[in-house]
Structure formats: structure tokens, C-alpha cells
Amino acid sequence: MPEVSDLAEVVENICIHKPQDASPAALQAASILEDIHAAHSHGLGFNLIQDPRFQRLHELARS
């Protein structure tokens, strides 16, 4: 699942470069992973790019 790889990459970046934000980022990622799993379990896709939680994590990783 490419969404999982993309999410992991962003969280890894946060953990390496902003360790003070690692724990909240991991909790947010876990929530996103649950939604990805639920969508795929029902045969649906998951648009990670449009998820506001992912957008916040992505911004945090870039800042």
C-alpha cells in the first residue's frame, strides 16, 4: 500500500529531524493507519494527500 509507505516516510523524517514531535506524530500516524486499513478492508482506496492529518504531518516534516 503506497499510502503506508508515504506516511512512514513523513513520520520517519519527523522522528529524525524533530524528535520532540515524534510521539504526537506517531499517535497521529496510528490514527491514519487505522483509517487506511478500514478503507482497504472495505475495498476502498484512501486519499492520503487529502487527509488533513497527513497534511499537518507533512508540513511539520518540511518545516
Report pLDDT digits (tens) over 10-57: 999 999 999 999 999 999 999 999 999 999 999 999 999 999 999 999
* C-beta of residue 22 within 8 angstroms of C-beta of residue 15: yes
Mention every residue, 6+ apart, whose C-beta is less than 8 A from residue 62: none
* Cα radius of gyration (the chain): 11
Write out the residue range of the structural domain in which residue 11 sits: 2-62
How many domains in the chain? Answer: 1
Separation of alpha carbons 63 and 47, rounded Å: 23
Q: Band of the pLDDT at 6, cuts 50, 70, 90?
A: very high
> Given this model, what pLDDT does residue 1 score?
83
pTM of the complete model: 0.91
